Amino acid sequence: MAASPNQRQLVKFGVFEVDLAAGEIRKAGMRQKLAPQPFQVLQALLERPQEVVTREEFRERIWPDNTFVDYELALKKAINRLREVLGDSAENPRFIETVPRRGYRFIGSLTPPESLKDKSLNIREEQRGNGHEAPGQLQVHGNHLDLESSGAMPPVRAVSGVASARTFPVPRWIWGIAALTTVLLLGAFWWHRPLPQPRIVATRQLTHDNVHKRSMVTDGNRIYFIESFAESSRLAQVSVAGGEVSVINSGTALPDLSDISPDGSELLGTVSTDYIQEQICAFSVLTGSPRRIGDLIGYDPGWARDGRLIFSRGNDVWVAEHDGSSPRKLLTTSGVPWAPQFSPDGIRFSFTLVNPTTSATKLWTARLDGTDPREIVPEWGKAPEECCGKWTPDGRYFVFATAQNNASSLWALAQKSRFGRATSAVPMQLTTGPLWIDDVLPGRNGKQIFIVGTQPKGELVQVDVKTGRFVPILGGIFAIDVDYSRDDRWITYILFPERTLWRSRADGSERLQLTFPPLRATSPRWSPDGRRIAFIAAKPGDPPSLFLINKDGGVPEAISSSAEPQTNPSNPSWSKDGQTIAFSHEGKLEGDTSYIGMVDVKSREITRLAGSEGIESPRWSPDGRYIAALAQDNRVLKLYELQSQKWKTLLRRQEPFGFLNWSRDSTTIYFDIVTDPPTIYRLRLRDAKLGPIVNLNSYRLYPKPDLFALGDWGGLAPGDVPLLVRDISTSEIYAFDVDFP
């Protein structure tokens, strides 16, 4: 029978030594790094050597029912990590064997642990071999250790007529010093030992209306948030215990929330009436009606305990008085700061810093005077995307979310502890998958964390312009950026959520994957001869590049230029002869202007299209005569005629234009506009006739990440039939009950 855990505290096998009590593993005396969950898996295997430990037994022991985790994936990762530490393999196991469809088994040879029982028995045998037993010797009776005699015994018994030694009482002060030393040592050990990891003890889904949600704040009793639609957003609320969602205010204005007043009477956020400038406002929790705060323009405002305002604008973080007066710049960053948050003690503030070139996000903090800016988890290296960081109300933990490899996780970083105990500088993972975490909100009671959890999913459809109905194509796969070859025989697309590049026949046959993670692709375009595909791609944390790849696969070829290495390309578009690719350089840094670049496919040289400063999103007409593009915050549709080399304005709109597409005969430009209701339009060039094609008010379009288009993409199928991605994602608010040590 396998020994119980309390009998086996030190287990040896091969060159490894496992201390079950301390939770440590050593290889040839050197301590190995092993996270708590893989160690718990190892401990379960060592407790039952040569026996199968089933997946269900692992789940009940390490990931109980109330744990929010994909335990199958977590168990697989833990086993892989164990094999990595042990130098083991699944194919030729020396220690951990996979039992198909059942679980795992430890097959190594264990060296029996030395226990107190073994030592006591060895001492007795040694004494009996000398022909005597020491009086008062500890004896083993069953599983207990008792004195051999129940009566009083002299400390030393006289042997062979030799007089017993004199004994002297130990002074009390020595016992006192010993006791004090022991207390101090134990106290120091406790003081410097890191806090236990927080854990989620219960999970509840609070909403069930399946509308996209963001921007949560709470007064402790209710959660206020924004629900987003294609044409508008609305302010809503739900009880922290869950229930029906009630709408406070809805309309065509585009509100956003970021904070709530200490007394819970007002919400703080912004209103965008022109899709670009955001006015900082306070909202009544009863009616949702906005009230301007001074004339402040910015985003993600927050209130300090003393009533001051903090907000972002461009690359800067600002602070102002409660009424919006006396605004002053606190800090200029190297990127775009999002969601500045005051710490509960009012000493520092945090923010998410977006790299405008790579779109990577990192969590930063600084003092209230703007000094000492630094990363919150420097050189952590866990994920290129960190977001949504907020302090718990007592300031003891900083909770945030990460995203990497199509998975999202919730983390907690200890900031301070009760009684000044040591804290770990490494974040502690609370969840992993399957939900994508879009927002994080610590509860006012200090015992809960609320998240907006999304399961992204879309369906590729074409629009029947006569009926307005969506018709799935390619089996309704979750794909965007679809582009047909000029002969309509081939199709290329980006498969979500992996963001990999594929091509197939127009009917979906002969599918071939062209790119693989960690490369993330977007905007594929067929060359006119149908042999190559141009696309934009980047690895997480790296800037995007323009690539070419053969339609039958191979290694993607990056197009670069020593003259302009930082082109930050997007929206590639081929010329009719296939010799040039136009692309958009997006000016994301302050002082950096957008323009249209032109790449010579043979020489790889890049030049700027004349007069294209401030213009982006080029679309080359199939006949090669024109380039359509957008200017002035995507509100002006421009046309460049290559023969005359002149620009002209085709159309101005109050609302930003969406994705541009040319008809196959180069006579018409298709686009969408965010209106009420959302609509797809077409503009005929010869007479500038503008007309709607289809009203999309009844449909949800994926993924609505911003307010500048109906969705992330819209295209045209053969016959100039509109293509879209119907949104069938789920988005709800969840509550985690957390045990914070």
- Give the distance, in angstroms, between the CA of residue 73 and the centroid of all CA atoms in the same chain: 17
Please say whether the beta carbons of 400 and 414 come within 8 A: no
Give the whole-angstrom CA distance, residue 119 versus residue 140: 10
The residue that leads in pLDDT, 513 or 674, is 513
Mean pLDDT on 439-446: 95
Tell me which of 7-16, 40-49, 94-103, 432-441 is least confident: 7-16
pLDDT above 80 (res 703) = no
Mean pLDDT on 2-25: 74
Give the whole-angstrom CA distance, residue 599 versus residue 561: 9
Tokens in use for 439?
């927002």
Amino acid occupying residue 191: W
DSSP 693-713: EEE-TT--BS---SSSSSSS-
* pLDDT for 189: 58
Question: What strands lie across the sheet with 199-205, from one edge to the other?
Answer: 199-205, 730-739, 448-455, 436-442
Long-range contacts of 309-316 (CB under 8 A, 24+ apart): 309/268, 309/280, 310/340, 310/342, 310/349, 311/280, 311/340, 312/336, 312/337, 312/338, 312/339, 312/340, 312/351, 314/590, 315/589, 315/590
pLDDT above 70 (res 4) = no
Give the whole-angstrom CA distance, residue 89 versus residue 96: 8
Mean pLDDT on 600-624: 93
Mean pLDDT of the chain: 82
Give the whole-angstrom CA distance, residue 356 versus residue 244: 39
Could you tell me the pLDDT band of residue 432, with boundaries at 50, 70 and 90?
confident
* pLDDT for 192: 55
Q: Which domains does the chain have, with CATH numbers?
A: 10-106 (1.10.10.10), 458-730 (2.120.10.30)
Tell me: the pLDDT tens digits for 308-341?
899 999 899 999 999 999 999 999 998 999 999 9
Amino acid occupying residue 373: P
Tell me: the pLDDT tens digits for 261-286?
988 899 999 988 665 668 999 999 98
Tokens 């020489």 -> residue: 603
* pLDDT for 193: 58
Give the whole-angstrom CA distance, residue 546 versus residue 556: 10
Tell me: the pLDDT tens digits for 369-398?
899 999 998 877 666 688 999 999 999 999
Beta strand spans in 190-327 (E): 199-205, 212-218, 222-228, 233-239, 246-251, 254-260, 266-272, 279-284, 290-297, 299-303, 309-313, 316-320
Mean pLDDT on 527-543: 91
Tokens in use for 449?
């964390």
Beta strand spans in 32-137 (E): 52-54, 96-99, 103-106
Tell me: the pLDDT tens digits for 451-481?
999 988 899 999 888 887 889 999 999 999 9
Tell me: the pLDDT tens digits for 58-71?
888 887 765 556 67
460-482 burial, b at 16+ Cβ within 10 Å, e below that, comes to bbbbeeeeeebeebbebbbbbbb
Tell me: the pLDDT tens digits for 493-517?
999 888 999 999 999 999 999 999 8
Mean pLDDT on 185-205: 74
Surface-to-core class of residue 458, CB atoms within 10 Å of its CB (0-12 exposed, 13-18 middle, 19+ buried): buried
* pLDDT for 164: 39
Give the whole-angstrom CA distance, residue 694 versus residue 735: 40
Please say whether the beta carbons of 225 and 257 come within 8 A: yes
pTM of the model: 0.70
Tokens in use for 537?
């791609």
Q: Percentage of residues in the chain with pLDDT exceeding 90?
A: 47
Could you tell me the pLDDT band of residue 161, with boundaries at 50, 70 and 90?
very low
List, in order, residues 6 or more apart from 381 with CB less than 8 Å away. none
Mean pLDDT on 568-586: 92
* pLDDT for 124: 39
Could you tell me the pLDDT band of residue 608, with boundaries at 50, 70 and 90?
very high
* pLDDT for 180: 76
Tell me: the pLDDT tens digits for 83-114?
988 988 888 888 999 988 789 999 988 875 54
- Give the distance, in angstroms, between the CA of residue 174 and the centroid of all CA atoms in the same chain: 58
pLDDT above 70 (res 82) = yes
Tell me which of 127-131, 321-325, 386-390, 619-623 is least confident: 127-131
* pLDDT for 118: 44
Q: Which of 714, 351, 665, 718 is nearest to 507 (CA)?
A: 718
Tell me: the pLDDT tens digits for 444-455?
999 999 999 998
* pLDDT for 140: 29
Separation in Å, CA 660 to CA 514, 634, 649, 716: 25, 11, 15, 10
Tell me: the pLDDT tens digits for 217-245?
999 999 999 998 755 788 999 999 999 99
Please say whether the beta carbons of 612 and 596 come within 8 A: yes
Separation in Å, CA 345 to CA 214, 342, 368, 394, 650: 26, 8, 11, 9, 55
